[in-house]
C-alpha cells in the first residue's frame, strides 16, 4: 500500500487507528500486531480480527503518540489506542521522543 500524508488507517487485528504524518513514495508494508493495516472503509469492523493472531508481542500503541521508523522517513499519529506493535517493511516503529528545550542560561 502506498502511504500518503493525511491518510487514515486502522488495524485489522485491534482497535488501533492511525493518521499518516510523513511517508516516502512507493509501496510499503505497514503492520500492526503482524497484520496489515487497512483503510477505514475496507474489510471487517473495528477490532474484529481479519485473520492471524499477530506476533504475540502485546506492546500497546498509545493514543496521541507519534511513531517513527529508525530513519525518520515515516511518521504516524495514533488516534485510537490498542495493541501492537507497529512495523513498516518489517522494521519496528518507536514512539517519537520530544525535542529537548534550549537552555535558559
Strands 17-22 and 30-32: unpaired
**Predicted pLDDT at 47:** 46
Q: Tell me: the pLDDT tens digits for 58-101?
A: 579 999 999 999 888 999 999 999 999 999 999 999 999 988 88
Residues 21 and 89: beta-carbon distance below 8 Å: no
**Predicted pLDDT at 16:** 96
pLDDT at 19 over 80: yes
Residue 100 neighbours by CB under 8 Å, 6+ apart: none
**Predicted pLDDT at 43:** 59
**Predicted pLDDT at 49:** 43
**Predicted pLDDT at 41:** 84
Q: DSSP label at 101? A: P
Query: Radius of gyration (Cα) for the chain, nearest Å?
Result: 14
Residues 55 and 86: beta-carbon distance below 8 Å: no
- Supply the mean pLDDT for the chain: 85
For residue 85, say if its preceding peptide bond is cis, omega within 30 degrees of 0.
yes
**Predicted pLDDT at 44:** 55
Burial group, residue 84, by CB count within 10 angstroms (0-12, 13-18, 19+): buried
Amino acid at each position: 500500500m502506498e502511504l500518503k500524508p493525511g491518510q487514515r488507517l486502522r488495524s485489522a487485528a485491534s482497535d488501533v487507528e492511525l493518521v499518516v504524518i510523513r511517508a516516502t513514495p512507493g509501496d510499503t508494508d505497514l503492520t500492526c500486531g503482524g497484520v496489515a493495516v487497512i483503510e477505514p472503509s475496507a474489510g471487517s469492523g473495528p477490532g474484529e480480527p481479519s485473520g492471524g493472531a499477530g506476533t504475540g508481542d502485546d506492546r500497546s500503541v498509545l493514543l496521541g503518540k507519534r511513531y517513527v521508523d529508525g530513519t525518520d522517513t515515516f511518521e504516524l499519529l495514533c488516534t485510537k489506542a490498542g495493541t501492537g506493535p507497529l512495523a513498516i517493511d518489517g522494521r519496528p516503529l518507536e514512539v517519537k521522543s520530544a525535542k529537548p528545550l534550549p537552555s535558559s542560561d
